[in-house]
């Protein structure tokens, strides 16, 4: 390798690992361990499970790295293995909630209260962030995973689709429905600030 290890692209690192380069493996672990841990933690809400999953995921992908025919798909493969491991943990823990149908949800039925004008100290308070985090946890699983991957972790629709084995339109649809639910919850939560008496609803 002529380039420094930290400047190498992911496909180049993966190619090096296939040739038995353990330095390249260390670099991949360094680049992706936080991403894998965060995704696993967001999906399981369990720090020790997230750590175990992170270990299991890297053991799986590095041991099977030769099966990856297109090195460019390493990250989406990694995310897929991570979500599968997290689902496995949740199944074991029986936290796998039954899916709730929200197909008939319609934002036009919701009451309109413009909480977007609230000051940042209210919108970004510790309490409101904790409430939103808990609300994401209560989303039906198919939506929760997509919302976490897209809106919390900032992945692209195409990468999420690849990782979860979904079409891009399916990702968008789940994302939209998840966001609609969260918006409703936030609207209810922030409504207490709409009461001029300050007494809430």
Partner 1 sequence: MNCRICSKLLQEYLENTISEELINDLNRHLQDCERCRIFFKTYSLTITLSRKVETPCCVSPEKIEHLTSLLYERLFSK
Size of interface with partner 1, in residues (CB under 8 A): 49
Helix axes 22-44, 10-18, angle to 10 degrees: 120
Q: Which of residues 88-107 bind partner 1 (CB under 8 A)?
A: 107
**Do 62 and 25 touch, CB atoms closer than 8 A?**
yes
Give the pair of three-digit tokens for residue 78. Answer: 């990694």
- Applying CB under 8 A, among 179, 188, 191, 193 the residue interacting with partner 1 is 179
| Contact call for residue 86 and partner 1 (CB under 8 A) | no
| 105 dihedral zone (left: phi>0; alpha: psi -120 to 50; beta) | beta
95-124: b (≥16 Cβ within 10 Å) or e: eeeeeeeeeeeeeeeeeeeebeeeeeeebe
Contact between 122 and partner 1 by CB under 8 A: the answer reads: no
Q: CB under 8 A: which stretch of 6-14, 73-81, 94-102, 112-120 binds partner 1?
A: 112-120
Interactions with partner 1, residue window 66-85 (CB under 8 A)? none
What distance in Å separates the CA atoms of residue 75 and residue 162, rounded to the nearest whole number? 10
Residues near partner 1 (CB under 8 A) are 20, 22, 25-26, 29-30, 33-34, 37-38, 41-42, 47, 50-51, 54-55, 58-59, 62-63, 107-108, 112-116, 123-124, 128-129, 132-133, 136, 147, 151-152, 154, 157, 172, 175-176, 179-180, 182-183, 186-187
């Amino acid at each position: 390798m002529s380039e420094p290890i930290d400047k190498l692209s992911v496909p180049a690192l993966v190619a090096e690992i296939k040739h038995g380069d353990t330095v390249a493996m260390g670099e991949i672990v360094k680049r992706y361990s936080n991403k894998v841990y965060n995704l696993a933690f967001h999906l399981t809400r369990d720090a020790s499970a997230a750590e175990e999953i992170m270990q299991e995921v890297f053991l799986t992908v590095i041991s099977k790295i030769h099966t990856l025919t297109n090195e460019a798909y390493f990250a989406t493969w990694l995310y897929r293995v991570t979500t599968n491991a997290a689902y496995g943990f949740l199944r074991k823990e029986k936290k796998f909630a039954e899916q709730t149908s929200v197909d008939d949800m319609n934002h036009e039925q919701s009451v309109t209260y413009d909480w977007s004008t609230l000051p940042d100290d209210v919108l970004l308070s510790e309490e409101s962030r904790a409430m939103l985090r808990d609300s994401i946890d209560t989303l039906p699983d198919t939506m929760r995973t997509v919302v976490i991957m897209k809106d919390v972790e900032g992945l692209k629709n195409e990468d999420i689709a690849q990782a979860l084995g979904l079409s891009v339109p399916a990702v968008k649809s789940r994302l939209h429905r998840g966001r609609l639910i969260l918006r409703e919850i936030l609207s209810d939560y922030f409504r207490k600030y709409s009461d001029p008496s300050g007494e809430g609803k």
